[in-house]
Amino acid sequence: MATQSKNEAQVGDKAPNARVIDKDGNVFKLSDLWKDKPLVLVFTRHKGCPFCRQYLGEFQKNYARFSEKGANVAAIMMGNQSAVKEFLTDRKFSFKVYGSGGSALHRAYGLKRFTETGDLFNPVKSAGEIFKSLSAASKYGLGIPEGDVAQLGGTFVIDTDGTILFAHQSELASDNAPLSVVLNALEDPKIQN
């Protein structure tokens, strides 16, 4: 069973702010990332998650569409600078990937953790989705799990004043917000998930 964090970040809330680190060791406040443009903030699971790798690959393929909407895109991993650097060794993204140093930032955004194996993969609910994602993810590489493997991810759209316009907290490892919905949230802030 997936457990809910105490502080689920919802549409209309102020986004939690924290410091994150890039592959070069530069430290940023999240608010620096949304101060000039809306931010699409993607939280990944652990470094080896094939669904996360596939999802980030989809963002890369569609990066121009987000740029056309005037948005920044950033991904948050649970790792530190060396984990981010290692993750990016053979991957090129047009957006930044940052490390949060652990799962505290995930918890601040109300991202869930699974507590039973069935929450990781619900075979009845998502077998086709899992196969499709694993097939697609294979071209992005499969990594060794590192970090809190029970932590689930999520996707948020944050306006320039720090207000959350869109929130998606994953229910399963393979549960990612459709990019079309995220793109729509940049046009219509009333869209929520």
pLDDT in tens, 151-185: 899 999 999 999 999 999 998 888 899 999 999 99
* Strand pairing report for 2-3 and 164-169: unpaired
pTM of the model: 0.84
Strands (E), 30-120: 39-43, 72-77, 96-99, 113-114
Burial of 93 (0-12, 13-18, 19+ CB in 10 A): middle
pLDDT confidence tier of residue 84, bands split at 50, 70 and 90: very high
Question: Between residues 134 and 43, which one has the greater pLDDT?
Answer: 43
| Distance, CA of 2 to CA of 115 (rounded, Å) | 6
| Distance, CA of 146 to CA of 149 (rounded, Å) | 7
pLDDT confidence tier of residue 57, bands split at 50, 70 and 90: very high
Residue count of the chain = 193
Domains and CATH numbers, the chain: 2-187 (3.40.30.10)
Rounded to an integer, the average pLDDT of 82-99 is: 92
Rounded to the nearest 10°, the torsion over CA 83, 3, 58, 38 is: -90
* Strand pairing report for 2-3 and 113-114: antiparallel
